[in-house]
Structure 1
């Protein structure tokens, strides 16, 4: 029935695994983190995944006029970051219309203008935290509604436990449009050692030290968790929470940057096969 025997990985290989989801059996098809021979290859990879993240946001219905901005740091010039162009629908973002900007908001490559609010928030975070590779923000229905409560998510499920003690509620500049640089400075310090933030009266933001894929998936996951908690609270019943020790265990195994990257792989596969124009 099988054309070859699948061998088991050595103890050393298993010890080097970064997730319990990586197969112990050798020879199986499983996503692998890519490696690159040069900056140009890695740049193209990041740009394509940034476009895929924008397309994924379009699929999720995260568009709201020109609001929403996704960024990823350039691999060769880390003081620069790639982002989606101003006033282009997420579904129409493609490699050719991405823009490259510096931390002062100057477009150094590309034809489109930059989103002022995106520059203010993302540039401040990227500049203050050199380890953060990518960020995502959009004006979503449930995330914005939940942000009005000014409170953190509760561990009501395994999904929500992925954010346990790994997100913050930011109240600085709450509800005020972030178009002045001081607004970005007020927000950026909150992103130390967390992957997500709920900005009161504004919405959700996620950051990744790993990849744009991870930042994008955890944004999608955070929006779903906000929706789920709002639904539970609407019942008027008090939910049973995952205990802190179990929530931390779940976060450790299903809440990492790597797991966010892994979750995005089927999204990437579906988009790359059905929307080839994103590579234009």
Structure 2
């Protein structure tokens, strides 16, 4: 009798185990899918603190497509496009080194120096003139991402004041905006060369707040770089992350108030915020 009960119980337990495992896997799958939708396709609907008076935009990668610059850098490195992330991270790294050390060169000069460093590390011959030509001209001729002009126009029509804040030089950003056809959409174009400290140093964001005469909570910072938003958060700004391809959030700081895939989704979210 006990032998028959055991035979009956074992299949039931196995069946229950399969159901439990399947349910757990399904739950994990649903959770993963929801996270993927938030980061890869759907804007975060977490309400921002309040509707801002001014929206501040980062420029490079957030508004402008760096594909052309990356191509010219790859050509300067003998076609080694695999070295592009190393060059870009070096450029950002040494901009922060200069800020902390109390030094200042404009972003084009730092980009040129970073490119020469990578070339030397990899045994690639590259003159300073060739390195500068691979950086400065392409950097000032970047096209806007496809969603940018429409998204900015929608935000302007909603009544938001739009300004930009970039690590590029003042003359550099003026040229960038003109070549990208975006000059008319911005009230002001701020460059860190006005204060000679690179983002994400808090003083760069405070410079914008002081000039606008606004409190941090009245301003929204929009960027495709987690480090940029971390700096904005440090002074109390609201933040929005534009998840351009290849861009991810830094998990050790506060999450942005809004996460979108492009500026049209940002315009959708901000329309809701106003109501």
Output the TM-score relative to the length of structure 1: 0.29
Higher RCO (CA 8 Å, separation ≥ 6 residues): 2
Q: Whose helix proportion is higher, 1 or 2? A: 2
TM superposition score normalised by structure 2:
0.29
